[in-house]
């Protein structure tokens, strides 16, 4: 008589598929929201550096590029915080439920 391993039981469970689907969707969305502005920034820096070199105002020594760069970094931190929050509140709960049901 063969016993299924815990991995195969969990891997076949519908909750596992839901967990993977939700997590993958969030990771793809957050990756796109992070990478698209970053690559647009690099593309503008390569093709139109004058846009990023412009000053925020006539009296400012801060350039548009510096401001956009800071916003991209802050956005990445905020999105990381969003992922951690969802992982702690939603994904960990699903994982605990899945492990509890698979142990039965």
- The CA distance from 81 to 79, in Å, is 5
Percent of the chain with pLDDT over 70: 95
Written as six digits, the tokens of 87 are: 């992982």
Please check whether residue 69 is in contact with residue 56, taking contact to mean a CB–CB distance below 8 angstroms: no
Domain assignments of the chain as residue spans, ordered by start: 6-102
42 pLDDT above the threshold of 60: yes
- The CA distance from 67 to 10, in Å, is 47
- The CA distance from 15 to 85, in Å, is 20
Percent of the chain with pLDDT over 90: 71
Which helix (DSSP H) or strand (DSSP E) does residue 96 occupy?
helix 92-102
């Amino acid at each position: 008589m063969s016993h299924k391993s815990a991995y195969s039981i969990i891997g076949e469970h519908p909750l596992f598929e839901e967990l993977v689907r939700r997590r993958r969707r969030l990771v793809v969305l957050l990756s796109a929201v992070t990478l698209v502005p970053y690559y647009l920034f690099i593309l503008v820096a390569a093709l139109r550096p004058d846009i990023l070199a412009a000053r925020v105002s006539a009296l400012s020594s801060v350039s548009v590029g510096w401001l956009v760069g800071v916003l991209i970094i802050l956005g990445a931190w905020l999105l990381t915080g969003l992922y951690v929050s969802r992982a702690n509140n939603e994904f960990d709960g699903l994982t605990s439920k899945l492990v509890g049901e698979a142990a039965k």
